[in-house]
Amino acid sequence: MKTTLAIAFTVALGGLAHAQGFGRGDMMRDRIQWSRSLDAAMKGGGEFLSEFEKRRLKAMGIEPQDKKFIFVYIRPTSEDTEPREFNTCQDAVDAYRGAWVFVKLDFDKESAVQKAWKVTSAPACIGCDLYGNDFVKLGAPAVDTIRSVIRGTPQAVAAYEAKLKADYQKASDLVKAEDDRGSKMLVDICLSGKNGYKEVTESQAKLNELTETAFKKGDLAAAVSPDTGVEYFEDLVKIYRTTPPGARAEVLLATLDHARGNIQPAIQRLLKVMKSDPRALKAEIESAGKALDEISKAGDAKIELALNGPDKVLAKDAVRKIAKDYLGTDAGKHAADASK
């Protein structure tokens, strides 16, 4: 009688588990589900937190956690299946159940994000915060590598956040005291700053505010003579480097260079800005793109003028020179085609 009751209880329990969706085997339960994109991962990977998943985790005694970190696996384009180490490494499985989102990206040497991470080959394992900033970067996904990323990233993020808060407070105090060291600290925060952090965003805003007067003086200097304006904005670039004010000064320098007939230097300045991380310099990249379009239009006007001249031989020579001068723009391509 006891045996019959035990069997009946076991069958009933198994049926209940199956009805709840928990009868698929340990391997399926523990398998990591990969977020469909970095953007989705940065939103917390919520596409996988279905009602079924919530019930499953609760039945296992695990409460769903807020996601805080992203494990990015950069895979070779020739790879067909994910490395088994991700599902045999218990640290990875536990991380997936906890504060981590996992995302696979194909290696792309043209990807702005992968360039920002300085990823030059695949495979690579990268530990990021939820803003997509890289903190730990290692190679092929061996179990030890996966563990190192998972264990090292939270520590690196916490250390960065603590230093950022302290530096920003010190910089703010110095700025209020009208101490020049404050603006220098803001530059350093922006240069080493990572996307998504309030202190970095506010540092950029304060730096823009502090430099507004400097840019007005630069406009006056350029109005006196382009050479004077170039010297002034070159100094701003040296001071503010790849911060938003530094990139803004580069765009203005390019405009002045083009006005002085230094076409290639102007184009290269703009292309340099346009290769920046769009997450940090979106407005400046857009400004550089517009300036490049204007330079290209000037080149197209020169092409049309040359081709309408009476001497076809001289026209071809002129167009070849335009192709060289405007290399890197649409006008350069148009001139190269016209010279054939």
Least confident interval from 62-66, 87-91, 205-209: 62-66
Q: What's the mean pLDDT in 45-66?
A: 63
Q: What's the mean pLDDT in 71-84?
A: 92
- Answer whether residue 167 is part of any domain: no
CB 323 within 8 A of CB 332: yes
| Among the listed residues 79, 73, 131, the one whose alpha carbon sits nearest the alpha carbon of residue 102 | 73
- Answer whether residue 140 is part of any domain: yes
- What pLDDT score does 53 carry? 63
Q: Are residues 112 and 213 in the same domain?
A: no
Q: Are residues 203 and 321 in the same domain?
A: yes
- Answer whether residue 169 is part of any domain: no
Report d(CA 154, CA 148) in Å as an integer: 11
- The structure tokens 């009476």 sit at 310
Report d(CA 193, CA 188) in Å as an integer: 8
- What pLDDT score does 168 carry? 96
Q: Are residues 190 and 238 in the same domain?
A: yes
- What pLDDT score does 124 carry? 97
Report d(CA 212, CA 106) in Å as an integer: 42
pTM exceeds cut of 0.85: no
Q: Tell me the pLDDT band of 336, cut-offs 50, 70 and 90.
A: very high
- What pLDDT score does 9 carry? 40
Higher pLDDT, 52 or 67: 67
Report d(CA 17, CA 7) in Å as an integer: 15
Q: What tens digit of pLDDT does each residue of 196-228 get?
A: 999 999 999 999 998 998 899 999 989 888 889
Higher pLDDT, 282 or 8: 282
Neighbour-count burial for 40-59, b at 16+ CB within 10 Å, e otherwise: bbbebbeebeeeeeeebbee
Report d(CA 141, CA 225) in Å as an integer: 58
Higher pLDDT, 337 or 18: 337
Q: Are residues 153 and 226 in the same domain?
A: no
DSSP 254-300: HHHHHHTT-HHHHHHHHHHHHTS-TTT-HHHHHHHHHHHHHHHHHHH
Higher pLDDT, 66 or 27: 66
Q: Are residues 114 and 252 in the same domain?
A: no
- Answer whether residue 296 is part of any domain: yes
Q: What tens digit of pLDDT does each residue of 97-114 get?
A: 889 999 999 999 999 899
3-state secondary structure of 133: coil
- What pLDDT score does 297 carry? 96
Q: Are residues 10 and 85 in the same domain?
A: no
Kindly report the average pLDDT of the chain as a whole number: 86
- Answer whether residue 209 is part of any domain: yes
What share of the chain has pLDDT > 70, as a percent?
86
- What pLDDT score does 154 carry? 97
- What pLDDT score does 121 carry? 94
CB 116 within 8 A of CB 83: no
- Answer whether residue 166 is part of any domain: no
Q: What's the mean pLDDT in 14-26?
A: 41
pLDDT at residue 141 tops 90 = yes
Report d(CA 17, CA 24) in Å as an integer: 10
Backbone phi and psi for residue 135, each to the nearest 5 degrees, phi listed first: -120, -35
Residue 147 sits in a domain of what CATH number? Answer: 3.40.30.10
- What pLDDT score does 51 carry? 64
Report d(CA 215, CA 253) in Å as an integer: 12
- What pLDDT score does 57 carry? 63
Q: What tens digit of pLDDT does each residue of 260-309 get?
A: 999 999 999 999 999 888 888 899 999 999 999 999 999 999 999 988 88
Query: Burial, 273: exposed, middle or buried (Cβ in 10 Å; 0-12, 13-18, 19+)?
Result: buried
Q: Are residues 306 and 197 in the same domain?
A: yes
Backbone phi and psi for residue 104, each to the nearest 5 degrees, phi listed first: -105, 135
CB 215 within 8 A of CB 248: yes
Residue 18 makes CB contacts below 8 A (sequence gap 6+) with none
Q: Which domain holds residue 9?
A: 1-25
Q: Are residues 108 and 238 in the same domain?
A: no
Q: Are residues 8 and 80 in the same domain?
A: no
Q: Are residues 48 and 20 in the same domain?
A: no
Number of domains in the chain: 3
